[in-house]
């Protein structure tokens, strides 16, 4: 339909290219999941089926989009990180965000019956919002990831205590809220231990740490363990050689996507997987 008299309307489109050479984070979040989790009677504070479903959808997204380096999820949200050299959709924000949101939502609905076999979905169907944010340095990106995981920890400790007070302590939500107002982490740990014999440290890692989804290269090439220095060197060569970049793309596409529940605030996780940020 080239050169019709209507074509001028295309000029109304606004450019929305994300800043080059920055780490792109797309965070999606379930719309109205407070209500949604009540409708499908999610167990409180953590429904494992709902978390496993979020993770299955996220794993499918990471598998379908090899440009994604790592993803982190908690509750009804997921953050997807694109490498700073990513050129997907010429880095157009609305294209990237809408593709992530629709791919995630499609898989969430596709996998629903696997995790909730006895509760069919009915309208209003689950939906997600999304946004893209650019982080110019690895430190900023690490701080972003730390921010989400710290949030997971704070909320989970609060929710675990809150729901223990209600479910096991027999008090109502208002009383529980009052009781927890102004308490520090140590106070909540103490309430859990003294009143309910719960050692917070022994809670499942998926609840305490959230979920990390990434490509595990070492599982793909067993026995070819590289030191951090060697991987750094390799990363340099990749930039120099197009051939190598092509190879790298292929091994990314082939690499197994894994889901772990690890600390991503400390250096250890990143130091052990230098390919994630190189």
Nearest approach in angstroms of CB 61 to Mg ion is 17
* Contacts with Mg ion, 31-50, as mask; x by CB under 5 A: --x-----------------
Does residue 124 have a cis bond before it (omega within 30 degrees)? yes
Nearer to Mg ion, 37 or 183 (CB): 37
Backbone φ/ψ region at 197: left (φ over 0), alpha (ψ -120 to 50), beta: left
Nearest approach in angstroms of CB 100 to Mg ion is 15
58 token code pair = 């996220």
Residue indicated by tokens 């430190």: 139
Q: Which residue numbers belong to the known binding site for GTP?
A: 75-76
190 binds, among Mg ion, ligand ATP, none (CB under 5 to 8 A by kind): none
Angle at 178 between CA 175 and CA 181, to 5 degrees: 150
Residue indicated by tokens 């050689």: 241
Rounded Cα distance, 123 and 114, in Å: 18
Nearest approach in angstroms of CB 48 to ligand ATP is 7
Nearer to Mg ion, 67 or 76 (CB): 76
Q: Closest Cα to residue 108, out of 81, 130, 141, 86? A: 130
Per CB under 5 A, the segment of 76-84, 88-96, 202-210, 230-238 that binds Mg ion is: 76-84
Nearer to ligand ATP, 29 or 190 (CB): 29
Nearest approach in angstroms of CB 138 to Mg ion is 26
Nearest approach in angstroms of CB 207 to ligand ATP is 9
204 binds, among ligand ATP, Mg ion, none (CB under 5 to 8 A by kind): none
155 binds, among ligand ATP, Mg ion, none (CB under 5 to 8 A by kind): none
- Position 67 contacts Mg ion (CB under 5 A): no
Rounded Cα distance, 152 and 87, in Å: 31
Site of interaction with ligand ATP (CB under 6 A): 29-34, 37, 42, 44, 46-47, 50-51, 75-76
Q: Closest Cα to residue 215, out of 277, 141, 150? A: 277
Residue indicated by tokens 């050692």: 199
Q: Closest Cα to residue 58, out of 42, 80, 37? A: 80
Nearer to ligand ATP, 37 or 244 (CB): 37
Kind and range of the H or E element at 108? helix 93-115
Nearer to ligand ATP, 126 or 200 (CB): 126
Nearest approach in angstroms of CB 62 to ligand ATP is 19
- Position 30 contacts Mg ion (CB under 5 A): yes
Q: Closest Cα to residue 192, out of 174, 209, 175, 176? A: 176
Nearer to Mg ion, 22 or 75 (CB): 75
Rounded Cα distance, 152 and 164, in Å: 18
Contact residues: Mg ion, CB under 5 A = 29-30, 33, 75-77
């Amino acid at each position: 339909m080239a050169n019709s008299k209507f074509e001028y309307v295309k000029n109304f489109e606004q450019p929305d290219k994300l800043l080059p050479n920055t780490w792109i984070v797309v965070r999606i979040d379930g719309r109205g999941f407070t209500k949604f989790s009540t409708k499908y009677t999610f167990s409180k504070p953590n429904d494992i089926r709902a978390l496993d479903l979020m993770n299955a959808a996220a794993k499918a997204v990471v598998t379908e989009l090899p440009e994604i380096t790592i993803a982190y999820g908690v509750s009804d949200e997921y953050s997807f990180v694109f490498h700073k050299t990513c050129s997907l959709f010429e880095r157009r924000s609305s294209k990237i965000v809408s593709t992530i949101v629709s791919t995630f939502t499609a898989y969430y609905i596709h996998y629903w019956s696997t995790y909730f076999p006895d509760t069919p979905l009915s309208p209003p169907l689950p939906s997600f919002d999304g946004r893209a944010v650019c982080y110019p340095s690895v430190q900023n990106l690490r701080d972003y990831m730390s921010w989400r995981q710290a949030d997971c920890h704070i909320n989970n400790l609060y929710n675990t205590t809150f729901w223990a007070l209600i479910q096991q302590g027999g008090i109502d939500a208002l009383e529980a809220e009052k009781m927890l107002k102004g308490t520090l982490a140590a106070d909540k740990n103490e309430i859990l231990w003294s009143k309910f014999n719960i050692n917070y440290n022994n809670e499942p890692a998926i609840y305490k740490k959230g979920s990390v989804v990434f490509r595990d290269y070492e599982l793909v090439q067993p026995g070819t363990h590289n030191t951090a220095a060697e991987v750094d060197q390799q990363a340099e060569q990749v930039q120099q050689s197009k051939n190598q970049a092509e190879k790298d793309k292929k091994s990314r596409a082939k690499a197994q996507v894994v889901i772990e529940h690890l600390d991503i605030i400390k250096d250890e996780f990143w130091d052990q997987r230098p390919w994630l940020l190189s």
